[in-house]
Every structure is written in C-alpha cells, then in structure tokens.
Amino acid sequence: MKAFIKIFRFFPPETAHHLALLSLKILNKVRILKLFFPDNKDFDNPKEYFNLKFRNTLGVAAGLDKNGDYVDELESLGFGFVELGTVTPKPQEGNQKPRVFRYLNQQAVVNRLGFNNKGVNYLVSKIKNKKYDAVIGVNIGANKKSTNDQRIEDYVFCFEKVYKYCDYVTVNISSPNTPKLRKLHNPDELEKIFKRINEIKTTNQTDIPVFLKISPDEGEETILKIVNIYETLKINGLIVSNTSIDKDILEGCSHEGGISGKPLLKKSNQLLKRIHGLDKDIFLVGVGGVFTKEDYENKITLGASLVQIYTGFIFEGPAIVKKILSR
C-alpha cells in the first residue's frame, strides 16, 4: 500500500484522490482488498449513541467520498462510520482548478474545492444500494449560486431527500470555499435552518440525529452563542472542526483555501476543549489533524465521543485505520 501512495503523489492531488478511491473499488470488486485487510473485527469496540451502534469510534470525515461511490470499500477498511458529502441540491463543478495543494513536509493540504458533487439525488441513489451495514452520515450544504434565503431552502431540501436513507445528517455551514457560507454561524440563521429541519422531523416522526459542523476560525462570541442555542435548536451534536483559513498555522502557505492535516490539530483541539469546557453535555465529534493513535486518543480525552479522519488517511493510506485502532 505504501508503494501505491508514493506513486499517487506523482499525480496532481485531485487526480490522485480519484485514482486512489478507484483503486480501492477495483481491489474490492476482485476481492483482493480482503487480502490486505482480512479481519477487521479486531478493530471493533462498539459504542451506542442516539440508538445507533457504532462498531468503533473512528470514522471517515465528509469530503473523502462526496457522492457515496465508495461506501462499501471504506467499510472494508474497518471504519466505524462513514460521513458522505458534502452534497448540495443541484450538481455543481465547484471552484476552478487547480484547487487542491499538497504541503508534503508539513503533512498538510490546502483545498478550495467548493462543494463539487453530483447532487443529492445521485447520492441517494448510491446509498439506497449500499451493502455497508454500519453507520452512515450525510453532510449537506448549499449551492454556490444560491442567495442567502435560498441557502436555507437548500439545507431543508437536502435534509428531506436524505434523512430516510442515512443514520445521521450533518449541516455544514463552515466550508471556507463557498462565499459567505460561514455567515450562517449567526444564531438567527441557524434558527431558520434548524426550525425547518425540526418541523420535518416532527411531521415525519423521525428522531434522526442532526449535527452541526463548525469552523475553527470563529471568535469566542460566536462559539458562546452556538453553545447557548445548542439545546434550544435541538442540535444533536457538533463536529469540531472544519478546515481553517488561518495561514499562520501552515508555514509557507501560498494558497487560498481551507487548511487541513497536522497543522490543524492544535487549533481544532483548542476549540474542542473549549466547547467541552463550556458544556459537557454537548455531543462532540472531533476532526482535524489526526494521524496517530495518540492524536485520536487526545480527541477523546478532550471531550469527543467520535473521531473522524480525512487528510491523515490521504497521507498514510488505509493502514492508518489499523495504526489507530489496534489494541
């Protein structure tokens, strides 16, 4: 697997991403993937939250599989849950290429993808046919061309489309690559989104958990407001955090976009610790900069019940799952 990772680095990052996932699909189809990962039951450490049984507490963050094309392959690697998306009502190409940049020495990535995806209907068609029997989340967002009011409708539209076919939904208001999206951290805007979502849940008698994914770049005032309205808006959990646009955390950063990978670890952990300190009853999912077992365990210590990885998976490959979960 390490040889494959080295080969993929000869390709542009976005091309390498697609080739790596396609390789997993091919290896799974011809049943070779199981030769590399023969028995992932060793990774099982079941936890139950929201009446959902997680086989373990390490999951895939949104962005790795935007359209639900690789669910079964990711499950084969031993993850406890997979979050798909971000998905929008209409398909969209995202921002202009090149839009993903590696910083190999710092084990970091800068991306300005911009919610490129095939649209919510495509994703639903894929998860309807999945073989994966563990927990599936869907991360929902707004189309780039939508106005502010239309963006509220985008979240509602996506939620209505996906909630019957997944185990939890994440409202993503924190991508830095869709203009003005982060303004939705405003409590008034959040109330509009969650009021509509909660009405749908009540009408359809579903208790599907809905998480909110937040930015690591928000100030103390915004974080306090989110913590204060968490229970009122019936938010079930916070995913902490998305990528950062703070170039100070990545030495030599020369690109605009969201920074992920090792440089994000400290900042995402600080926010995780802060929120847990403010309200220990808030359900937290820790993500950002996880490369090692120690990184994973630190997230748990700081208050996370679940942990997600993405950039660490890109740099380390599928072996990172065993590296983190082996006892």
Residues forming the active site: 175
CA angle 18, 72, 127 (to 5 degrees): 95
Q: Which pair of tokens denotes residue 107?
A: 């084990």
Find the angle CA(283)-CA(286)-CA(288) to the nearest 5 degrees: 155
Question: Residue 7 CA to chain centroid, in angstroms?
Answer: 26
Residues near 148 by beta carbon (within 8 Å), at least 6 away in sequence = 180, 183, 189
In degrees and rounded to multiples of 5, residue 258 shows phi and psi of -90, 130
